[in-house]
C-alpha cells in the first residue's frame, strides 16, 4: 500500500481510499500502526466537519433517524459520514450499523458514507480508532460526521469527547418510564430528540418533549450552553417531520459556540483529554495481562469478603507488579 497515494485519494474524496484508510487505522498490527501514523501526518488539519455524537437505546428508531436526517442533509448538498462507536463489540464480537440494509437509501446515496463498527477491539482502542476515523472523514471533505453509539458502558463519554454537539434520541413515554437512560447522559446531551412523534404517539411525544425540556432547564446550566439550550425537539423520522427544526437547533448551537470561542476551546480540550487518556491507558495496560487479572480477582474477592483491607491489598499487588 502506497501511503502517498492513499493520502491523495482521501483528499480527493475517493470513497474507496477512505474505506481502506479506516481499515488501516482500525488495525492493531505494529506495521499498520506505523503506516497509519504516517498517513495521518500527511493529511490536512484545517478541514473541520460538524461532528455530531448520537446516542439512543435500541428500539428508539436510531437507524431510521440517521437515514432520514442524513438524506435531508445530502439533499441540501452536504456530504455526510456515519461512523459507529461500539465498545460492547469488544465483548460480544457484535457490531452496530453492521446491517447497512437498515439504511437502504442513505447507503446508496453518493454524498453519504456509512462505516459499521469493527468488532473485537478493546475500549481504549475503540476510542483511538474512532478519533482517527473522524479525522480521515474530515480530511476527505465531509461536512457532517455522525458518530453513533448504542450507549453501552462508557461509550457516550467516549463519543461526547470527540463531538462538537451531542444528540440523545428518546422514544415518547409517560413521565415515569425511564427508557434505560443511563447515569450522566443528561449531563452531556446538547439536544434531546423525541422520535416517533407520529400517529397514536404524537401527543405523548409532545408531552415527553415538554417534560424533558423542563427537567433540563431545572437541572443543568453550563457555560457552553447558549440561552435555550439544552433543547428538546420532537420528530418523526419515519414521516420526516421535525428534522429541519432539529438541524436548525444544531446549527444555532454550534454557530453560537463558534462565535463565542467554545468550538476551538472544546476541540483543544478534547485533544488534551485524549492525550491524557492515552497515557493513562498505556500505564493501566499493565493490569490487563492474564497474570495480573488473576491476582486482581483473587485480592478483590478477599477485599469484598472483608478478609483484606483495600489499601493494604493494593499495596501488595503493586509491589508484586514492580518485582516482575
**16 vs 183, beta carbon nearer a second copy:** 183
Shortest distance (Å) from residue 88 CB to a second copy: 20
The candidate with the shortest Cα–Cα distance to 188, out of 215, 214, 216, is: 216
Give dist(CA 218, CA 220) in Å, integer: 6
Shortest distance (Å) from residue 32 CB to a second copy: 13
Cell 462505516 sits on residue? 115
Other Cβ atoms less than 10 A from the Cβ of 110: the count is 8
The three-class DSSP label of residue 52 is strand
Give dist(CA 191, CA 168) in Å, integer: 6
Alpha helices in 43-116 (DSSP H): 62-75, 89-92, 104-107
Q: In what order do the strands lie in the sheet with 112-115?
A: 112-115, 80-85, 144-149, 50-55, 165-170, 191-194, 231-234
Shortest distance (Å) from residue 141 CB to a second copy: 18
Q: Which residues contribute to the site for a second copy (CB under 8 A)?
A: 37, 40-41, 45, 128, 131-132, 175-176, 178, 181, 183-184, 186-187, 211-212, 214-215, 217-221, 268-269, 271-272, 274-276, 278-284, 286-287, 296, 299-300, 303-306, 309-315, 317-318, 321
**72 vs 215, beta carbon nearer a second copy:** 215
Q: Cα-atom radius of gyration of the chain, to the nearest Å?
A: 21
Give dist(CA 138, CA 306) in Å, integer: 52
**29 vs 221, beta carbon nearer a second copy:** 221
Shortest distance (Å) from residue 229 CB to a second copy: 13
**15 vs 182, beta carbon nearer a second copy:** 182
Shortest distance (Å) from residue 37 CB to a second copy: 6
**108 vs 283, beta carbon nearer a second copy:** 283
**23 vs 157, beta carbon nearer a second copy:** 157
Q: Residue 215 to residues 84, 131, 148, 212: CA-CA distances in angstroms?
A: 29, 32, 25, 5
Q: Is the dihedral of CA 178, 252, 111, 243 positive or negative?
A: positive
Cell digits of residue 113? 458514507
**105 vs 298, beta carbon nearer a second copy:** 298
Shortest distance (Å) from residue 234 CB to a second copy: 16
The candidate with the shortest Cα–Cα distance to 212, out of 183, 173, 246, is: 173
| φ/ψ of residue 86, rounded to 5 | -140, 80
Residues 6+ apart with CB under 8 A from 93: 119, 120
Shortest distance (Å) from residue 122 CB to a second copy: 14
**107 vs 300, beta carbon nearer a second copy:** 300
Shortest distance (Å) from residue 181 CB to a second copy: 7
**109 vs 132, beta carbon nearer a second copy:** 132
Beta bridge partners of 194: 170, 234
Amino acid at each position: 500500500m502506497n501511503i502517498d497515494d492513499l493520502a491523495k485519494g482521501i483528499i480527493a474524496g475517493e470513497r474507496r481510499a477512505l474505506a481502506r484508510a479506516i481499515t488501516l487505522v482500525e488495525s492493531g498490527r505494529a506495521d499498520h500502526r506505523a503506516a497509519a501514523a504516517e498517513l495521518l501526518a500527511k493529511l490536512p488539519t484545517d478541514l473541520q466537519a460538524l461532528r455530531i455524537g448520537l446516542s439512543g437505546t435500541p428500539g428508539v428508531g436510531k437507524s431510521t433517524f440517521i437515514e432520514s436526517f442524513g438524506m435531508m442533509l445530502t439533499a441540501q448538498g452536504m456530504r455526510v459520514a456515519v461512523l459507529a462507536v461500539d465498545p460492547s463489540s469488544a465483548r460480544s464480537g457484535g457490531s452496530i450499523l453492521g446491517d447497512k440494509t437498515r439504511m437502504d437509501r442513505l447507503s446508496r446515496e453518493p454524498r453519504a458514507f456509512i462505516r459499521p463498527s469493527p468488532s473485537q477491539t478493546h475500549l481504549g482502542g475503540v476510542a483511538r480508532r474512532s478519533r482517527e476515523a473522524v479525522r480521515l472523514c474530515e480530511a476527505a471533505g465531509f461536512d457532517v460526521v455522525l458518530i453513533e453509539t448504542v450507549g453501552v458502558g462508557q461509550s457516550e463519554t467516549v463519543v461526547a469527547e470527540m463531538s462538537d454537539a451531542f444528540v440523545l434520541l428518546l422514544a415518547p413515554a409517560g413521565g415515569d418510564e425511564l427508557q434505560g437512560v443511563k447515569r450522566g447522559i443528561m449531563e452531556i446531551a446538547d439536544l434531546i430528540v423525541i422520535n416517533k412523534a407520529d400517529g397514536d404517539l404524537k401527543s405523548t411525544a409532545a408531552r415527553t418533549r415538554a417534560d424533558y425540556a423542563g427537567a433540563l432547564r431545572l437541572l443543568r446550566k453550563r457555560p457552553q450552553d447558549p440561552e435555550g439550550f439544552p433543547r428538546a425537539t420532537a420528530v418523526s423520522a419515519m414521516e420526516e417531520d421535525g428534522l429541519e427544526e432539529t438541524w436548525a437547533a444544531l446549527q444555532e448551537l454550534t454557530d453560537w459556540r463558534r462565535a463565542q470561542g467554545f468550538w476551538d476551546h472544546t476541540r483543544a480540550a478534547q485533544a488534551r483529554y485524549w492525550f491524557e487518556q492515552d497515557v493513562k491507558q498505556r500505564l493501566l495496560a499493565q493490569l490487563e495481562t492474564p497474570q495480573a487479572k488473576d491476582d486482581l480477582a483473587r485480592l478483590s474477592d478477599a477485599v469484598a469478603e472483608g478478609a483484606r483491607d483495600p489499601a493494604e491489598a493494593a499495596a501488595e499487588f503493586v509491589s508484586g507488579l514492580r518485582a516482575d
